[in-house]
Copies of this chain bind each other. A is one copy, B any other.
Amino acid sequence: MSSSRLIERIAVITSGGDAPGMNAALRAVVLAAEHDGIDVVGFRHGYEGLLNNDYMKLGRDEVEHILQYSGTIIKSARSERFKTDEGGIEAAHNLDAQNVDAFIVIGGDGSFRGANHLAKFWQGPIIGIPGTIDNDLFGTDNTIGYDTAVETAMDALDKIRDTAEAMDRVFIVEVMGRNAGYIAISSAMASGAERMILPELQKDKPLTIDALVKHVEGVNRVRGDSSYVMVLCENQWPGGAVRLAEQLEDRLNFPCRPCLLGHVQRGGRPTAMDRILATRLGVYAVQLVQEGITGVMAGIEKNELVTTPLEDTWVKRKVLSQELIDIQTKCFNPIKKDRHKATVDKA
């Protein structure tokens, strides 16, 4: 799927939920392209802009100093219209009308499905760059925005801990992640949360309120009065943190307080790690299209630049690190306090 060809103009979009670092990726695409004498146009509002021919030229001046800002200067959106054959044909037509030779999409799996849809109607090289805070794409160890989201969640958890220490209470902090526990486990480990609720841990045995009550009481019994902070991944409890706090308070008879971070996790200045990841992937994507490679996502695995067929990014399942799970649930289990190895510890 590779044969080197002359690329004179690249189109780029940001699509789906925005993620901190998308701007840094845009900047990298533009600077790398400019270095190689290639023009860049950005279509606004994702695939929607491709349909509406809503584009802007992106040169050094436009992107020079955007890498410290989250969001995306060409905005993002979801588009139903594009998913039809008519949408795909229209988009392909607009790319040709603008003399676009290659197409780069920054987004998550929905955006990459869109890219595959486009490939049915358009011939140029198409490359995906993983931009989503959820980190749930196969083919890259980290997605752009994930590190920043973890930092934001950790920051909230640190603040909760400050006040938790002062008052001895239970707190439940709901974080994003869609159907994956990456933000949850990383922010829980980084903040020393007493408990985390992740899809990966609850697959086989559904979690009950009884089990949660028992855990809080167990921790309190072992440690005396103290704070208890729980990280809850979204979509893992009906009614979320607000409802769970009510239920726990009913049972425990002391204050349980919810925090729902929501879209705060999509904002904020991108971390250095996200900016560097975005920069590397943006430059790599420009290299790939010039090598005629298409239909793949640019990613980084084990510190190496790699490509993965777009379809694999959502069909294959990235697996949450068992090492991290074991540290949190076994090794750091806050209830266990036995002094001798006789004990058989089970998660």
Contacts and interface: CB of A to CB of B under 8 A. Distances in A.
Given A275-B190, A341-B36, A331 B259 contact: no
Contacts of A116: none
Interface in A321-347: 323-324, 327, 330-333, 336-341, 343, 345, 347
A340 B279 contact: no
A90 interface: no
A307 interface: no
A134 to B, nearest CB: 14
Nearest to A171: B263
A272 B167 contact: no
A159 B167 contact: no
Contacts of A331: 31-32, 35, 283
B164 A263 contact: yes
Interface stretch (A70-78, A80-88, A92-100, A200-208): A70-78
B32 A158 contact: no
Interface in A257-283: 257-269, 271-273, 275-276, 279-280, 283
Interface in A45-93: 60, 64-65, 67-72, 75-77
Interface string A183-225: 0001101111000000000000000000000000000000100
Contacts of A340: 37
A250 interface: no
A152 interface: yes
A267 B77 contact: no
Nearest to A270: B190
A242 B242 CA distance: 8
A234 to B, nearest CB: 12
Nearest to A36: B341
A162 B71 contact: yes
Contacts of A268: 158-159, 162
A192 B71 contact: no
Given A67-B192, A259-B261, A280-B323, 12 more contacts: A36-B341, A37-B340, A60-B337, A64-B192, A65-B192, A171-B262, A257-B262, A259-B263, A259-B264, A279-B327, A283-B347, A302-B302
